[in-house]
Amino acid sequence: MKRTVFFVSDGTGITAQTLGHSLMTQFDTIDFEQHMYPYVDTLEKADKLLATINACAAQEQSPPLVFSTLVNHDIFQRLQQAQALCLDFFQTFIGPLEQALQQPSSHSIGRSHNPSQKQYASRIDAINYTLKTDDGVHTKEYDEAEVILIGVSRSGKTPTCLYLAMQYGIKAANYPITEEDLGKKQLPECLLKHCGKLFGLTIDLERLQAIRHERRPGSRYASLLQCEQELQMVERLFGHYDIPFLNTTTYSIEEIATKLMLKLGIQRRLL
Amino acid sequence: MKRTVFFVSDGTGITAQTLGHSLMTQFDTIDFEQHMYPYVDTLEKADKLLATINACAAQEQSPPLVFSTLVNHDIFQRLQQAQALCLDFFQTFIGPLEQALQQPSSHSIGRSHNPSQKQYASRIDAINYTLKTDDGVHTKEYDEAEVILIGVSRSGKTPTCLYLAMQYGIKAANYPITEEDLGKKQLPECLLKHCGKLFGLTIDLERLQAIRHERRPGSRYASLLQCEQELQMVERLFGHYDIPFLNTTTYSIEEIATKLMLKLGIQRRLL
């Protein structure tokens, strides 16, 4: 079964897409064909889109779905005329919220992703820090880190760090625990000084082997034995130093980041 | 005026936070104190949180706000008992959606950020590609790029590329146009071959100077004259080759990414 979905916003459409997506995942037998319409901020654009939606409705057996966040009430009303199920997140909740807060909302468009200069700078700072300290480089800068991810090569450290920096402005470094470190059965000096900031990532053997094989087919690095030894030793190391850790095998980057922040008590900041 | 906000979810809480945040930005005179409660997935956790919210309500003059996405109806009902304004995005929209799609939703928790192995791999690929080709490195791999961002140093290329890769699995390379390139008044060879994928970023003079000054105070690199010349020349270059471009001064990373995709006709993929 196929259904056409329109994400519509007078801003970037990211909020509409996020919520729409989270609702759509509850209907996994349906094949959703998705169309993005950001910056629908004039009645002219709304009329054009209305025609597109109605043309789609006429062509298909079932009415399309419209997930929208429209701050402008006139544009919202125009789109409500579409032959579609229109769910607008903004218009649904802004009324009860105005009542609870006892004041009218500002109705200004494009606020969701419009941070202050200071917030913007701290986000860019975090991204730069994370890039600079990626993969065990510049360990002298660990004083500045809010968290240092450790684990064997290809356990998901870099994407998680970048996500933390990008979404929450968190300075996240990462250090790959090498065979040499594992041989010594102790944490390298540069990490020992920052034990409280460490967070370990581990991963199922089969998955690690598959990822490494993809990268360097047939190498010792990708061999089952090598992967197994590294994983065993790194988990022993986590245990020895009482480092909180997570098996990332079945989790998305978002889930890893959320679980990490929860375990370490790092507050999510809004950017 | 201060109000306490709880973001609650049986998953990561990212959807709840995204939508709550986009509503909150419409009330800019209110100081929102925000608390995240992800993974509230048992009645025990819900009861504990209920007590926390009610304690907060008893202490403050105005009832707290609860923005939630709860798939589990029992947990939702428990939290509805809180002395707070509870707005649940999931419960509000799932009913109309089930009706429109003529089928019950799966009510499975944690679906929003749970991509398939294939989607996950393509996301990680894009992140790795973007890191590898950051800052004009590995230009021989441009065949693989979906977009190549160009602009003077510190115009916002790297964060935008990382966002495109992280959020949408888009392979985005970036190339800093140097003084040497600008002196030649033509694009370097490695870019000429990929003209259709190029997107330019520019930025206001004062802002560029401030960013560069922060990085290397008092340097020639950060001087007004240098910044002015580079910006003039790079914009002339964009014009000469008819390269679409954007002035990033007042935009967030999300906005730059959205406008870029809209101009180049790149489809946003859901990850």
Give the gap in angstroms from C-alpha B64 to the nearest C-alpha of chain A. 9
Predicted pLDDT at B113: 67
- Identify all chain B residues contacting A131, using CB atoms and an 8 Å cutoff: 131, 134, 158
Give the gap in angstroms from C-alpha A47 to the nearest C-alpha of chain B. 19
Q: Where are the alpha helices (DSSP H) in chain B?
A: 14-24, 43-59, 73-80, 89-101, 117-132, 157-168, 179-184, 189-192, 205-215, 224-240, 253-264
The CATH code for residues B117-264 is: 3.40.50
Give the gap in angstroms from C-alpha A99 to the nearest C-alpha of chain B. 10
- Identify all chain B residues contacting A106, using CB atoms and an 8 Å cutoff: 26-28
The pTM of the full predicted model, rounded to 2 decimals, is 0.93
**In sequence order, what E strands does A145-237 have?**
147-151, 172-176, 198-202
Cβ count near B243 (within 10 Å)? 19
**DSSP 3-state assignment of B193?**
coil
Chosen from B5, B9, B33, B268 to mutate, greatest number of chain A CBs within 10 A: B268
Q: Provide, rounded to the nearest whole percent, the portion of chain B with pLDDT above 70.
A: 97
Chosen from A19, A72, A266 to mutate, greatest number of chain B CBs within 10 A: A19
Predicted pLDDT at A119: 83
Domain B2-101 coded CATH 3.40.50: yes
| Cβ <8 Å between B101 and A3 | yes
**DSSP 3-state assignment of A216?**
coil
- Identify all chain B residues contacting A14, using CB atoms and an 8 Å cutoff: 18, 254, 258
| Cβ <8 Å between B15 and A29 | no
Mention every residue, 6+ apart, whose C-beta is less than 8 A from residue A37: A6, A7, A8, A9, A13, A49
Predicted pLDDT at B120: 85
Report the distance separating Cα B158 and Cα A167, nearest Å: 15
**Average pLDDT over every residue of B112-141:** 89
Report the distance separating Cα B156 and Cα B249, nearest Å: 9
CA proximity to B135, closest of B102, B172, B106, B175:
B175
Residues B15, B16, B20: CA angle, nearest 5 degrees: 120
B147 and B260 Cβ atoms separated by less than 8 Å: yes
ipTM over cut 0.85: yes
A63 and A83 Cβ atoms separated by less than 8 Å: yes
| Cβ <8 Å between A71 and B26 | yes
- Identify all chain B residues contacting A258, using CB atoms and an 8 Å cutoff: 12-14, 38-39
Same fold, A2-101 and A117-264: yes
User: Burial of B50 by CB count in 10 Å (0-12 exposed, 13-18 middle, 19+ buried)?
Assistant: buried
* Amino acid sitting at position B36: M
Give the gap in angstroms from C-alpha B47 to the nearest C-alpha of chain A. 19
Report the distance separating Cα B235 and Cα B229, nearest Å: 10
pLDDT tens over chain A, length 271 residues: 899 999 999 999 999 999 999 999 999 899 999 999 999 999 999 999 999 999 999 999 899 999 999 999 999 999 999 999 999 999 999 999 999 999 999 888 777 666 677 888 899 999 999 999 999 999 999 999 999 999 999 999 999 999 999 999 999 999 999 888 888 989 999 999 999 999 999 999 999 999 999 999 999 999 999 999 999 999 999 999 999 999 999 999 999 999 999 999 998 776 6
Predicted pLDDT at A270: 63
Nearest-by-CA chain B residue for A260 = B12
Predicted pLDDT at A108: 80
Least CB–CB distance from B26: residue in A21, A63, A106: A106
Q: Give residue limits of the domains in chain A.
A: 2-101, 117-264
